[in-house]
């Protein structure tokens, strides 16, 4: 249930169009619904503006289907991250309106909000092609939360002329997600070019001394560019979610 839906229900009760008993029944699943193996937080959209997100890794296909079923019964959309193709196919058979984003490993179930083509975008930038899966996790998250995305891929520091071609696009962005492995220097470069906040995502891409993304993480944490924040290694979802919150905050002003 969204904040708007809750307000509409209360107005209908006040106007006498909905009985108190019926309203209580509609609100019965708040604040959460106990499925035994999971407690689905139906109150989260009212608190934070977006429903609970399903992290598929470690869950069975049956569990993911049932959690998704309960979320879309109460909300307009459900987002499931780190989903395998086999799991995605099973969910698509069980539920309507399922879109599988293979590269991002994300399932979108239900009806995401429409995105205005004139809205100020979130730019999602990668150092290399190998970083694209994490970047797509961020991009699809942003889009599912109702913000526009501009993708700028394979513009790492080994060829800075590629990045500079997109200076105007970067300048117009409300927020920028920078995804990079190896030494992770791209976030600092972008941070030095723009006034928008930069969300840096270290990836586990790289040879042995990169320590599965630790070298990129430390570089980004030690960035000399102001306005750069860092999420965990390979956490495209977290970066996308935060970027979407920034866009939402601007709309409310």
Task: Quick: pLDDT tens for 121-158.
Answer: 999 999 999 999 999 999 999 999 999 999 999 999 99
Whether 228 shows a pLDDT value over 90: the answer reads yes
Q: What is the Cα–Cα distance from 228 to 195, expressed in whole angstroms?
A: 10
**Residue 124's closest CA among 154, 103, 168, 79?**
154
Torsion of CA 136, 138, 141, 143, to 10 degrees: -70
Structure confidence by residue, pLDDT tens digits, 184-204:
999 999 999 999 999 999 999
pLDDT range class, residue 250, cuts 50, 70, 90: low
| Residues 95 and 135 placed together within one structural domain of the fold | no
Share of the chain above pLDDT 70, in %: 95
Which H or E run includes 86?
helix 85-94
- Around Cβ 168, how many Cβ atoms within 10 Å? 7
Q: How far apart are CA 214 and CA 218, in angstroms?
A: 6
Count Cβ atoms below 10 Å from residue 249 Cβ, excluding itself.
11
Element (H, E) at 151: strand 149-152
Domain final residue, candidates 110, 137, 164? 110
Q: Are residues 169 and 219 in the same domain?
A: yes
* pTM score: 0.86
Tokens 């492995």 appear where? 181
Residue 169 has pLDDT above 60, yes or no: yes
Q: Which of 102, 32, 108 is nearest to 70 (CA)?
A: 32
Q: Which of 77, 110, 143 is the last residue of a domain?
A: 110
Which of 28-42, 95-109, 137-151, 152-166 shows the lowest mean pLDDT across its residues? 28-42
pLDDT at 33: 80
Statement to judge: residues 78 and 154 lie in one domain: no
Beta carbons within 8 Å of 50's beta carbon, 6+ residues apart: 44, 145, 241, 244
Total domains present in the chain? 2
Domain membership of residue 104 as a residue range: 31-110
pLDDT in tens, 46-99: 788 888 999 999 999 999 999 999 999 888 899 999 999 999 999 999 999 999
Q: In terms of domains, do 156 and 75 share one?
A: no
Q: Is 23 within the bounds of a domain? A: no
The per-residue pLDDT of the chain, averaged, comes to 90
**pLDDT value of residue 17:** 86
> Which stretches of the chain are DSSP H helices?
3-14, 20-26, 44-48, 61-74, 85-94, 132-144, 160-164, 167-172, 186-191, 214-221, 236-252
Across 163-167, average pLDDT: 94
Structure confidence at residue 218 (pLDDT): 96
Same domain, 213 and 91: no
Residues 6 or more apart whose CB falls under 8 angstroms from that of 25 comprise none
């Amino acid at each position: 249930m969204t904040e708007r839906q809750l307000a509409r229900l209360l107005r209908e009760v006040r106007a006498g169009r909905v009985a108190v008993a019926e309203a209580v029944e509609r609100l019965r699943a708040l604040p959460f619904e106990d499925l035994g193996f999971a407690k689905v937080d139906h109150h989260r959209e009212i608190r934070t503006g977006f429903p609970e997100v399903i992290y598929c890794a470690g869950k069975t296909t049956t569990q993911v289907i049932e959690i998704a079923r309960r979320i879309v019964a109460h909300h307009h959309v459900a987002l499931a991250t780190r989903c395998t193709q086999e799991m995605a196919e099973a969910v698509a058979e069980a539920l309507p309106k399922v879109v599988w984003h293979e590269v991002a490993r994300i399932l979108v179930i239900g009806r995401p909000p429409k995105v205005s083509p004139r809205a100020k975008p979130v730019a999602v930038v990668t150092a290399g092609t190998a970083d694209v899966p994490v970047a797509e996790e961020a991009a699809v998250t942003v889009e599912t939360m109702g913000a526009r995305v501009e993708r700028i891929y394979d513009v790492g520091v080994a060829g800075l002329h590629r990045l500079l071609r997109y200076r105007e696009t970067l300048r117009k962005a409300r927020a920028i997600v920078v995804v990079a492995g190896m030494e992770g220097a791209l976030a600092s470069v972008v941070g030095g070019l723009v006034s928008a906040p930069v969300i840096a995502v270290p990836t586990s891409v790289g040879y042995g001394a990169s320590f599965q993304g630790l070298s990129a993480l430390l570089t980004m944490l030690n960035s000399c560019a102001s306005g750069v924040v860092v999420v965990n290694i390979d956490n495209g979802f977290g970066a996308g979610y935060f970027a979407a919150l920034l866009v939402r905050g601007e709309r409310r002003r």
